[in-house]
Amino acid sequence: MDNRASHPPHPLVVQKYGGTSVGDTSRIRAVADHVARTRQNGNHVVVVVSAMGKATDDLIRLATETSSVRPPREMDMLLTSGERVSMALLCMALADLGVPAVSFTGSQAGIITDTTHTRAKIVTIKGDRLRAAIDDGQIPVVAGFQGVSTQHDVTTLGRGGSDTTAVALASALDAKVCEIYTDVPGVFSADPRIVPDAAKLKRLSFEEMLEIAATGGRVLALRSVEFARNHGIPLQVRSSFTWEPGTTIDEEDPSMEQPLVTAVTHDMSEAKVTLPGVPDTPGIAARLFRALADNAINVDMIVQNSSLHGTTDISFTVPEDDLATSLQITRSLANEIGAQTPQADSNIAKVSLIGAGMKSHPGISATTFEVLAASNINIEMISTSPIRLSCVIRRDQAESAVAVLHKAFNLGEA
C-alpha cells in the first residue's frame, strides 16, 4: 500500500495582514505566532503584508514636503519601501520562532502588472519562487500592494491593493482560503459605531459582499471581492487582535434559506449634481456621461425625470472629491445645449439595504419607504439591484436612517 495516497497534501492558506495588524514590532511578533500556529495545524501558509501602520502616510507627507511635482513612477518607488520593512521584520520574527520564512517583493513573487503607475492592474502571476519556497518547507512572506510592470518598473495596485495581492496569489497558488486579517472582527450588519447592537455576519455571498463594499462598507476593497468571486476563492475576514472567528465570504449556498436583508450600509462620501431644464432630445445624457467617464469620474446613481414641458432634469451622484470637475463638465454642456445652470449638493448620504433574499421578496422597498417616512426622512434618489436598495437622503439624517432600518429588519444581535 502506498502510504502517500492516504495523506493528502497540506492545504494552502493565504493570510493577509493589514497595516494595523503589523503596526509595531509587538504586533508583528503576534502575527508571527499566529502564522506559526496555522502551519503547526497542518497547513502550508503564504503571507501577504501591508506597510506598518502609518508608514505609507508618512512617506506621502515626505513627498509632499519635497516637491509639488510627484511623478507616479517615483511615488510607486517611494511607497513600495513600506512593505519591505514589514515583510523583512515578519520573517525575522518567524525565524525567532524557528519557522523558516523568506520575503518576496512583488517583483520577486512574479506579480506582473500593466504600466499604469499608482493604480496598476495585475496582468499575470508567475509565482515560481513562491512555489519553490513552499516545496522547500518555507513560508513565503510577500509584499502586498506592489508588482513589477511589463516594462520592469515597480508599480503599485492602488487602493485595496494588498487585499488584491492576497486574493490573486490565493488564486494563482490554488489556496483553499484567503484570510484577510484586520482591526475589526468581521463584516457587520451595520457600522457598529452607529448601531451598537450590529451583528457580526458569519457568512455572506460574494454578491452581498460586493454590494456592501460598493455602498460604503470599508472592510474589504471592492476590487479584491470581485477578483475572489471571479476565481472562486473563499475569503475570511478576521481580527488580528482577538483572532476570533470572523466572516466567511463564499459562493451563495442555494440549499440555505437566505435572510431577507443582511446588512444596512451608508456612504457619506458622495455628492449630487442636478442639471435642470435639459431639452428632451436623444443623446444628451450620453454626451454628459461620456464626458464624465473621459475624465475618469465614477458616476454612481443616475435619475432622470421627464417633465411634460419637453425638458427633463438629470441628477447624478459622484465622489465628493470629483464634484468640482463634474460641475465644470456639466456647466459646459449646459451652455452648449441650452439647459439651466447645474446645481451641486454635498449634503447627501446614501443608505443601502443588502440581502440575497431580496431577489424573491418584493416587499422590501415598500417597508423601507414606510420606515423612513415614519422618521420624517425624505428620499431624494432611489436605485436598486436584485439584492440591494439604495436611497439618497440628507447627510445629517444618515445615522438615524441606518438605525431605524437596522431595527425594522431585525438585524441586531439575537
Q: Please report, as ranges, the residues that interact with a second copy according to CB under 8 A.
A: 25, 28-29, 59, 62-63, 65-71, 73-75, 77-78, 80-82, 84-85, 87-89, 91-93, 95-96, 102-103, 105, 108, 129, 152, 154
Burial class (CB in 10 A: 0-12, 13-18, 19+), 4: exposed
Q: Among residues 93 and 273, whose Cβ is nearest to a second copy?
A: 93
Please choose, from the candidates 29, 179, 11, the residue with its C-alpha nearest in 3D space to the C-alpha of residue 97.
29
Residue number, 70 or 121, with CB nearest to a second copy: 70
Of 226, 271, 277, 234, the closest CA to residue 252 belongs to 234
Query: In the complex with a second copy, which residue's Cβ is closer, 54 or 73?
Result: 73
Q: How far is the CB of 107 from a second copy (least distance, A)?
A: 8
Number of Cβ within 10 Å of residue 346's Cβ equals 11
CB closer to a second copy, 66 vs 341: 66
Question: What backbone torsions phi and psi does residue 292 show, to the nearest 5 degrees?
Answer: -65, -45
- Least distance (Å) between residue 77 CB and a second copy: 4
Which CB atom, from 132 or from 373, has the smaller least distance to a second copy?
A: 132
Minimum CB distance to a second copy, residue 52 (Å) = 9
Say how far apart CA 234 and CA 262 lie, in whole Å: 19
Kindly state the smallest distance separating residue 150's Cβ from a second copy, in Å: 14
Residue 200 carries which DSSP code?
B
Which residue, 72 or 192, has its beta carbon nearer to a second copy?
72
Q: Cα 358 vs. chain centroid, distance in angstroms?
A: 22
Element containing residue 84 per DSSP (H, E): helix 81-96
Report how far residue 22's alpha carbon sits from residue 341's, in angstroms, rounded to the nearest whole number.
50
**Contact criterion met (CB below 8 Å) for 272 and 317:** yes
* Strand duo 12-17 + 177-182: pairing: parallel
Smallest separation (angstroms) from a second copy to the CB of 103: 5
* Residue whose cell numbers read 502616510: 57
Q: Residue 89 CB, nearest distance to a second copy (Å)?
A: 5
CB of 264 to a second copy, least distance (A): 41
- Shortest distance (Å) from residue 241 CB to a second copy: 18
Q: What are phi and psi of 403, to 5 degrees?
A: -65, -45
For residues 112 and 384, give the distance between their C-alpha atoms in angstroms, rounded to a whole number: 37
DSSP code, position 257 = P
Nearer to a second copy, 91 or 198 (CB): 91
How near is the Cβ of 16 to a second copy at its closest, in Å? 19
Radius of gyration of the chain (CA): 24
| In the complex, least distance from residue 183 CB atom to a second copy, rounded to whole angstroms | 20
32 or 323: CB nearest a second copy: 32
Of residues 77 and 285, the one with the C-beta less far from a second copy: 77
Query: What torsion do the CA atoms of 16, 22, 28, 33 make, to the nearest 10 degrees?
Result: -40
CA atoms 193, 204, 384, 299: torsion sign: positive
Pick between residue 82 and residue 160 the one whose CB is nearest to a second copy.
Answer: 82
Sequence length of the chain is 414
Q: Are 414 and 364 in contact (CB under 8 A)?
A: no
